[in-house]
């Protein structure tokens, strides 16, 4: 059974134009070099570099306070982390991810003890996560060390994103230490994992 073509030409023409418009718009968005440049600029609105002390100290402290923003009482170790006490000592280097546009915040940090080759205080503020900053900070830490070297760090097993990141960077786990933690009525084991990487 054939349909009379006079009933459907307008509908057919409308559908054809609609599909043509959608395809043209999609291609324009995909191939538009301006939108690609804008995306690259958005992704590159930070720099990874060695901290300059004392110039960057206040921004580093502000970044680290973000880790404990919902806690009123800080342990001494947390207070030391927030104050960035460690990086103010000789033999330590702090790598930062800092915005290149206002407000020029420090988005993340990683500390390195040059003598022991131990990485501490790898932290990225919550709103800047999942942008590859943790990876870039760790790569910059590796660049600081003279090779050959064994880079070391410790991370809790319940910090799954960090453990995954370190493994993807080539870190292995030669040692594990158990720490029991009680959460409400359930007891869980949170292991402190020692990880290392040969450079």
- CATH number, domain of 120, equals 3.40.630.30
pLDDT of residue 172: 92
Q: What is the average pLDDT value for the chain, to the nearest integer? A: 78
Do residues 141 and 151 both lie within one domain?
no
Do residues 180 and 104 both lie within one domain?
no
Answer yes or no: is pLDDT of 17 > 50. Answer: no
Q: Is residue 1 part of a domain?
A: no
Question: What is the Rg, in whole angstroms, of the alpha carbon atoms belonging to the chain?
Answer: 25
Question: Which of 99, 125, 145 represents a domain boundary (last residue)?
Answer: 145
- How far is C-alpha 97 from the geometric centre of its chain's CA atoms? 9
Determine how many CB atoms are found less than 10 A away from the CB of residue 150: 10
Q: What is the pLDDT of residues 37-75, one digit of tens each?
A: 444 445 568 999 999 989 999 999 889 888 777 666 666
Do residues 182 and 134 both lie within one domain?
no
Specify the number of domains making up the chain: 2
Domain with 129 in it: 44-145
Do residues 168 and 104 both lie within one domain?
no
pLDDT of residue 81: 72
Residue 120's SS3 state is strand
> Is the whole-model pTM more than 0.85?
no
pLDDT of residue 38: 44
Do residues 162 and 192 both lie within one domain?
yes
Do residues 85 and 167 both lie within one domain?
no
* Percent of the chain surpassing pLDDT 90: 46
Q: Is residue 125 part of a domain?
A: yes
DSSP code for 127: G
Q: Is residue 195 part of a domain?
A: yes
Q: What is the pLDDT of residues 76-107, one digit of tens each?
A: 666 777 777 778 888 999 999 999 999 999 99
Mean pLDDT of 16-37: 45
């Amino acid at each position: 059974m054939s349909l009379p073509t006079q009933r459907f030409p307008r509908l057919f023409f409308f559908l054809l134009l609609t599909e043509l418009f959608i395809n043209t718009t999609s291609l324009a968005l995909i191939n538009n070099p301006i939108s690609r440049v804008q995306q690259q600029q958005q992704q590159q609105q930070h720099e990874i570099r060695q901290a300059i002390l004392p110039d960057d100290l206040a921004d580093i402290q502000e970044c680290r306070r973000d880790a404990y923003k919902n806690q009123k009482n800080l342990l001494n170790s947390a207070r030391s982390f927030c104050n960035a006490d460690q990086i103010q000592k000789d033999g330590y280097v702090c790598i930062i991810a800092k915005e290149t546009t206002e407000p020029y915040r420090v988005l993340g940090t990683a500390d390195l003890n040059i003598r022991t080759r131990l990485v501490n205080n790898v932290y990225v503020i919550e709103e800047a996560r999942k942008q590859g900053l943790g990876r870039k900070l760790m790569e910059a830490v590796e660049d600081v060390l003279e090779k050959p070297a064994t880079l070391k760090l410790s991370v809790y097993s319940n910090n799954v994103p960090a453990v995954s990141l370190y493994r993807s960077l080539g870190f292995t786990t030669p040692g594990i230490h158990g720490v029991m933690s009680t959460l409400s009525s359930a007891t869980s084991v949170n292991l402190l994992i020692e990880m290392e990487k040969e450079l």
